[in-house]
Amino acid sequence: MPTIEVNDIEVCYESFGPDDAPPLLLVMGLGAQMTLWSPGFVSELLDRGFRVIRFDNRDVGLSSKTAGDPPDVMALYAKSLAGEPVDAPYTLSTMADDAVGLLDALDIPAAHVVGASMGGMIVQTMAIEHSDRMLSMTSIMSTTGANDVGQPDPEAIGALLAPPATNREDAIASSVTTTRIISGSLFDESEARARAAEAYDRCFHPAGPAFQIAAIAATGDRTEGLRGVDLPTLVIHGREDPLVTLSGGEATAAAVPGADLLVLGKMGHDVPRQYWDRVADAISGLALSTVD
């Protein structure tokens, strides 16, 4: 997988499909490598005529890592809930700049952009700050950053903020447990275990999520910024999502003028294979709406 210099860091990325097809940039969520965008889901998008680009955010996978000790995530979470300011090495604006910088490096003037979870937050920030680089926005299982919407169930946030594992066996087991808690009724243990093993063997960097959580906490509420977004927008959310609960997606769709909301009844905090075709159809339909 190639890496490319973007905003003074190295970003690892992959591009699939013909260079002259409509570009679609996939932005992954907290602590998740680009490989969590399943090849099967990428194939669904390729079948609908896109050039698909996925990449590792900073502090995950094979992209650059932040130096120094990671922040105290429990303290960050408490400050965020209390509405107190949070100091962080970077914010979601920095991560949005990384995504735009990747488009620059690939000579792509504008793209359809799809983000999942924290990736949805990054995509929303791109729409607020770099709307000229986007053809459409799709925010999946994400939220606005407001403290009164999208808040996780206690079991889900407990799993997310648990101390990281220190070896391969424990890391895989912990990942499977967390995935079981957040994925809803379509959880597939064998698939979760295979994903966890792939992620560990590609790059195990337990400090990364703490820096990304700090970026989320330091960025705050995007609701007012989203009210000024003038882009074709689709919000997708699972009714069974316990990590970013449905009100987060509803608030996102309500904030962006003209946004469409697609609620999938058995989806949790995941894009399971049972919904790949429906999600790909919805993204494709949004993209087609932008064609004159």
Confidence of residue 1 (pLDDT cuts 50, 70, 90): confident
Task: State mean pLDDT over 7-28.
Answer: 97
- Hey, is 9 helix, strand or coil? strand
Confidence of residue 292 (pLDDT cuts 50, 70, 90): low
Digit-coded pLDDT (tens) for 61-84: 999 999 999 988 888 878 877 778
Q: 289 φ, ψ to 5°? A: -70, -15
Burial class, 18, CB count within 10 angstroms (exposed 0-12 / middle 13-18 / buried 19+): exposed
pTM, entire model: 0.96
Q: Centre a 10 Å sphere on the Cβ of residue 21 and count the other Cβ atoms it contains.
A: 14
Paired strand residues for 261: 235
Which string of DSSP letters, residue by residue, matches 27-66? E--TT--GGGS-HHHHHHHHHTT-EEEEEPPTTSTTS---
How far apart are the C-alpha atoms of 240 and 243, rounded to whole Å? Answer: 9
Structure tokens, 127: 């729409």
- Hey, is 169 helix, strand or coil? helix
Structural contact between residues 201 and 185, judged by C-beta atoms closer than 8 angstroms: no
Handedness of CA 96, 234, 251, 28 (dihedral sign): negative
Please work out, in degrees rounded to the nearest 5, the angle formed at the alpha carbon of residue 252 by the alpha carbons of 37 and 125.
65
How far apart are the C-alpha atoms of 42 and 44, rounded to whole Å? Answer: 5
Structure tokens, 249: 């997606």
The pLDDT value given to residue 48: 97
Q: What percent of the chain has pLDDT over 90?
A: 87
The pLDDT value given to residue 128: 98
**Residue 185 pLDDT > 70:** yes
Task: State mean pLDDT over 42-50.
Answer: 97
How far apart are the C-alpha atoms of 139 and 115, rounded to whole Å? Answer: 5
Pairing of strands 9-16, 260-264: unpaired
Task: State mean pLDDT over 147-160.
Answer: 92
Structural contact between residues 70 and 60, judged by C-beta atoms closer than 8 angstroms: no
Q: Centre a 10 Å sphere on the Cβ of residue 59 and count the other Cβ atoms it contains.
A: 24
Task: State mean pLDDT over 226-252.
Answer: 98
- Choice among 1-5, 167-171, 234-238, 251-255 with the minimum mean pLDDT: 1-5
Structure tokens, 146: 């407001």
How far apart are the C-alpha atoms of 100 and 113, rounded to whole Å? Answer: 10
Complete domains list, the chain, with CATH: 3-288 (3.40.50.1820)
- Alpha-carbon dihedral of residues 97, 99, 101, 102, nearest 10 degrees? 170
92-124 burial: b if 16+ Cβ within 10 Å, else e: bbbbbbbbbbbbeebebebbbbbbbbbbbbbbb
Instruction: Report the mean per-residue pLDDT for the chain.
Output: 95
Digit-coded pLDDT (tens) for 191-215: 999 999 999 999 999 999 999 999 9
Task: State mean pLDDT over 115-139.
Answer: 98
The pLDDT value given to residue 25: 98
For the chain, give the number of residues: 292
